[in-house]
Amino acid sequence: MSKSIFQLVDELPTGGLTISMLNALDFAAPGQWQNITGFVNTIKHVTGESDDELIQQIGERAIYLYNDKSQGYQTAMWLYQTVDGTDKALGAAALANKIGENVSFLGFLDKLTPKPDKAQTIDLTLKLVAELVAFCQINGIPGDSIGDFVAALGEYSGESMIRMAALVCVDGLIPLGPDFIQKAISGLNSMTPSDLEQNSTFKDMQNVIPGNNAAGKLDFMGQSFDSVKGWMSNLVTSRNLSPQSVVGNLSNFMQIADDKLDYLAAFLDVSTNYYEHTGTQTLARRLIERAFAEL
């Protein structure tokens, strides 16, 4: 990794399209997320400490842990970045750099290519698998520990919770519709290893996905999604989530045409990086919590 954890946290943006989107999705995970940025500020927020010397010790220990290659923290960070690494050709910064700026994606329709359901299903599932494997890396457990991940998912909060809520809303409901869970399961069941091997994100991630070959990795992806479908379904039901409710909340900061949801999904894909943003925050929190406990 070219950047240290304190650089990554210090460089997190305080505004822009990703932040506006996550704030708009608060209705799906009420009160869970604050956009905490800055490494020292994050240490103060996580630990409640104000002593400068102790804060420095915590920071140095967190940096040491992150840099230790025998730990899984850098792999987790790489996963959060890689799974969000869709071509950002439109440039999020050029589109919106102020909170609350009213952005219209309608002018960009000719530059967008909506993904077919198969590609969208692969992306949705790869993000879920990235979450699972990153969780295992951060906690020092085997990468195929689906049961441990599902148990922990029930306790998710803060930036981890808003990330999963965004996954359901932005990568599930908007592009695939209200029956996205069943559609994704059906798509995975009919998918071939060669379908997977043609996906650029899978090519980047394949070495960290459990399985001896593409067929084994596809099977693991299916098991992972199947294990989380109940949690996703409960979130949709308990928060009364639908494509319409998600779009209604997103329309508070951007102009949206109701009949262009596939284009909206493509627009959000290329112009936001919510997985990397909240993933960096999750990783910083876990490192700081551990560093604080070890001092």
pLDDT for 91: 47
Burial per residue of 63-91, b for 16 or more beta-carbon CB atoms within 10 angstroms, e otherwise: bebbeeeebbbbbbbbbbbbbbebeeebe
pLDDT for 255: 77
Give residue 99's pLDDT band: very low, low, confident or very high (50, 70, 90): very low
- Give, in order, the Cα–Cα distances in Å from 181 to each of 169, 170, 177, 188: 12, 13, 9, 11
pLDDT digits (tens, 9 = 90+) for 252-282: 887 776 677 888 888 888 888 999 999 999 9
pLDDT for 56: 97
pLDDT for 88: 56
pLDDT for 263: 84
pTM reported for the whole predicted model: 0.93
Token pair of 67 as six digits: 């840099």
Q: How far is it, in rounded angstroms, from Cα 200 to Cα 202?
A: 5
